[in-house]
């Protein structure tokens, strides 16, 4: 997906057990890698910016400040050990 600086982007992650039933992991982290290579890791239950929408579904709203390709990864441990990665692109600003 392509976005602009200033857009608020919802980063989402979902978890299910081996039977496919939505399940909450015991621990959840969200790592965001900026185009500069800087990685920020947030932990559900510790960092207020990671939210549980419903069983097995989590999100964080992210406001990018840097152009380029961004990556994010939700990872669960304990009751569900799984990870989900996505990326998005922040377009270069147009100057007039």
Q: Please report how many Cα atoms fall inside a 13 Å half-sphere around the Cα of residue 51, on the Cβ side.
A: 10
Residue 6 above 70 pLDDT?
yes
What is the pLDDT averaged over residues 31-41?
Answer: 97
User: What pLDDT does 92 receive?
Assistant: 82
**What is d(CA 90, CA 96) in angstroms, rounded to the nearest whole number?**
18
Residue 58 above 70 pLDDT?
yes
**What is d(CA 62, CA 49) in angstroms, rounded to the nearest whole number?**
9
What is the pLDDT averaged over residues 16-29?
Answer: 96
**What is the pTM assigned to this prediction?**
0.91
* Residue 78, Cβ density class (10 Å: 0-12 exposed, 13-18 middle, ≥19 buried): exposed
pLDDT band at 93 (very low <50, low <70, confident <90, very high): confident
User: What pLDDT does 96 receive?
Assistant: 59
């Amino acid at each position: 997906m392509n976005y602009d600086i200033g857009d608020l982007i919802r980063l989402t992650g979902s978890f299910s057990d081996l039977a496919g039933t939505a399940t909450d992991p015991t621990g959840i982290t969200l790592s965001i890698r900026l185009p500069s290579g800087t990685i920020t890791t947030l932990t559900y239950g510790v960092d207020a910016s990671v939210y549980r929408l419903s069983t097995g579904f989590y999100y964080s709203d992210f406001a990018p400040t840097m152009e380029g390709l961004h990556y994010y990864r939700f990872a669960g441990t304990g009751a569900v050990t799984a990870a989900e990665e996505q990326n998005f692109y922040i377009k270069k600003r147009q100057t007039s």
